[in-house]
């Protein structure tokens, strides 16, 4: 029986890979292209390094859990109020990111494939994610391995199909940068694609060994994800040029629209891309819901798991349906930059500090 065991390195890699697939193909290329006039790989590499730093912080925090869950441990060391305050921005970030992901994907479907289907109906896809989230972390990990297999094959095939129409001269400057992206809000807004490891940190029990595995697998996933994201950014730039790409809301989706080969049976590659993205989106939504649901369960053990997931699914369905327009969704991406920075760097540092403080206090008391 594997119930109760922690995720393997490959499963964590698959989850992070799917996280990139779910979020890097839509708004992200536009954000990154608009963040700099220099080489695009600089901001990309900068975020990859920042993500590695955040991942390292989380792994240091997880190594001190001694076989316990993060939220439960924080609850014990800081009390319910203290841990609640520390975790509130993280919960807010997860809730926001889940709502944005659901609504953004539904919007994209209505924009490209099913223009007459109501958004309220499409948002209902959260039911499948909610059911998987309720089933637990191991079913999520198993599903992730299968979906990564299918998703990666299709996504890679689409990328390869798109390469033939690229003009390499349009990708320049390849090396020059003046660091202008550091002062651009688009650069910070694009942070959401690098945070897959946060969700698994909030669920499951960790030991020093499993936290080492966590760091290794996410380091590998971030390296692969950076290359993957580079594909999402450079393919439209090499096809349309930087100027036109800057004006496009979904550069990669537009790139998919431009693919034409006489030997490809399908004509509308956008439909294929959007359909394949569903593999990623549903699983990542399940992962986010599970992280939130398990955290709530750790803080309020008396609550029944099934009800937590039902209530969360209904809440996010309502929230995603309540967003008035696409522009409001874009604002949400920019408005939550602070929450994301807190979740990536401040929360693990504070958590680490609180656990170290508790340990010192215990040592003093025992001395």
Partner 1 sequence: MTAHPFALLHRIREKENTSAPALVSLLEETFAGMSDFAKRPIGTIGSQPVFLCYLTSLVSSQRLSFAVEWEELTELSTRVDRYTGPPFAEGSRELCVDAICGGAAILCLEGTSAGLILDISDTQHRNVASPVTENVLQGPLYAFNEDLQTNFALIRQRIRSAKLKIWETKIGTASRTRTAICYYEGAVDIECLANVQAMLKNIVVDGLQDTGQLLRLLVAKKKMRLFPLAVSSERPDRAVAELLKGKLILLVDGSPFALILPAVYTDFWHSPEDLYVNVYVSYFLNALRFLAMFINLFLPAFYVALTSVNIDVNRLEISLAAAASREGVPYPVFIETFLMLIVIDFITEAGIRLPKTISSTVTMVGGVVLGQAIIQANIVSNLLVIIVAATAITNFIVIDYQMGLVQRVLKYFIAAGATIAGLLGIVFCFTCLVFYLSCLESFGTPYLTSLMRKKGTPSP
CB of 272 to partner 1, least distance (A): 7
Task: Compare residues 48 and 132 and give the one whose CB is closer to partner 1.
Answer: 132
Nearer to partner 1, 11 or 55 (CB): 11
Nearer to partner 1, 128 or 346 (CB): 128
Q: Say whether 205 sits in a helix, a strand or coil.
A: strand
CA of 125: how far to CAs of 7, 120, 270, 289, 332, in Å? 26, 10, 20, 13, 21
Q: Which is closer to partner 1, CB of 55 or CB of 147?
A: 147
CA distance 281 to 285: 6
CB of 108 to partner 1, least distance (A): 11
Least spacing, CB of residue 160 vs partner 1, in Å: 19
What is the 8-class DSSP label of residue 8? Answer: P
In DSSP terms, 68 is beta-bridged to 206
Taking the C-alpha atoms of residue 61 and residue 87, their distance in angstroms, rounded to an integer, is 14
Q: Nearer to partner 1 by C-beta: 267 or 328?
A: 267
Pick between residue 51 and residue 129 the one whose CB is nearest to partner 1. Answer: 129
- Report the residue number, 268 or 335, with the smaller CB distance to partner 1: 268
The site for partner 1 (CB under 8 A) is made up of: 1-2, 109, 113-114, 117, 125, 128, 131-132, 135, 138-140, 142-143, 145-147, 149, 265-268, 271-272, 274-276, 278-279, 282-283, 286
Q: How many angstroms separate the CA atoms of 20 and 283, rounded?
A: 12
| Selection from 151, 187, 135 nearest residue 281 by Cα | 151
Smallest distance from partner 1 to CB 280, Å? 10
Minimum CB–partner distance for residue 26 and partner 1 (Å): 15
Q: Least distance (Å) from partner 1 to the CB of residue 287?
A: 12
Q: What would the two tokens of residue 352 be?
A: 């680490």
By beta-carbon proximity to partner 1, the closer residue of 178 and 268 is 268
Whether the bond into 173 is cis, omega within 30 of 0: yes
Q: Can you tell me the distance from the alpha carbon of 54 to that of 46, in angstroms, rounded to the nearest whole number? A: 12
Q: Tokens representing 279? A: 């593999």
Nearer to partner 1, 110 or 177 (CB): 110
State the nearest-atom distance from the C-beta of 354 to partner 1, in Å. 35
Q: Are 221 and 17 within 8 A, CB to CB?
A: yes
Tell me how far apart the alpha carbons of residues 78 and 85 are, in angstroms, rounded to a whole number: 10
| Residue 68 DSSP code | E
Residue 69 DSSP SS3: strand
Instruction: Report strand pairing: 205-206 vs 68-69.
Output: antiparallel
CA dist 54 and 349 (Å) reads 9
Q: For the chain, what's the residue count?
A: 367
Question: Least distance (Å) from partner 1 to the CB of residue 269?
Answer: 9
Shortest reach from residue 109's CB to partner 1, in Å: 6
């Amino acid at each position: 029986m594997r119930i109760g065991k922690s995720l393997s390195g490959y499963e964590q890699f698959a989850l992070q890979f799917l996280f990139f697939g779910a979020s890097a193909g839509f708004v992200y290329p536009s954000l990154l292209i608009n963040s700099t006039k220099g080489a695009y790989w600089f901001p990309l590499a900068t975020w990859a390094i920042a993500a590695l730093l955040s991942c390292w912080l989380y792994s240091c925090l997880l190594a001190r859990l001694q076989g316990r869950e993060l939220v439960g441990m924080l609850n014990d060391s800081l009390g319910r109020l203290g841990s609640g305050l520390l975790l509130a921005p993280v919960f807010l970030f997860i809730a926001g990111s889940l709502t944005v992901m659901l609504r953004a994907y539904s919007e994209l479907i209505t924009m490209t494939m099913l223009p007459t289907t109501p958004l309220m109906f499409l948002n209902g896809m959260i039911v499948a994610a909610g059911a998987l989230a309720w089933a637990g972390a191991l079913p999520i990990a198993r599903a992730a391995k299968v979906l990564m297999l299918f998703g990666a094959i299709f996504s890679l095939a689409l990328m390869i199909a798109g390469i033939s129409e690229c003009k390499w001269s349009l990708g320049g400057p390849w090396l020059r940068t003046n660091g202008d992206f550091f002062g651009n809000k688009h650069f910070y807004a694009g942070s959401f694609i690098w945070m897959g490891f946060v969700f698994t940190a909030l669920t499951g029990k960790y030991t020093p060994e499993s936290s080492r595995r966590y760091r290794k697998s996410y380091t590998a996933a971030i390296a692969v994800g950076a290359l993957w994201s580079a594909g999402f950014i450079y393919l439209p730039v090499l096809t349309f040029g930087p100027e036109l790409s800057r004006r496009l809301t979904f550069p990669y989706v537009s790139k998919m629209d431009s693919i034409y080969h006489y030997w490809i049976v399908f004509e509308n590659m956008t439909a294929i891309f959007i359909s394949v993205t569903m593999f990623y989106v549903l699983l990542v939504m399940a992962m986010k819901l599970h992280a939130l649901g398990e955290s709530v369960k750790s803080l309020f053990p008396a609550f029944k798991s099934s009800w937590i997931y039902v209530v969360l699914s209904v809440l996010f369905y309502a929230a995603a349906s309540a967003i008035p327009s696409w522009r409001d969704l874009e604002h949400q991406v920019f408005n939550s930059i602070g929450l994301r920075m807190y979740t990536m760097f401040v929360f693990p540092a504070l958590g680490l500090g609180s656990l170290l403080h508790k340990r010192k206090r215990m040592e003093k008391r025992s001395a």
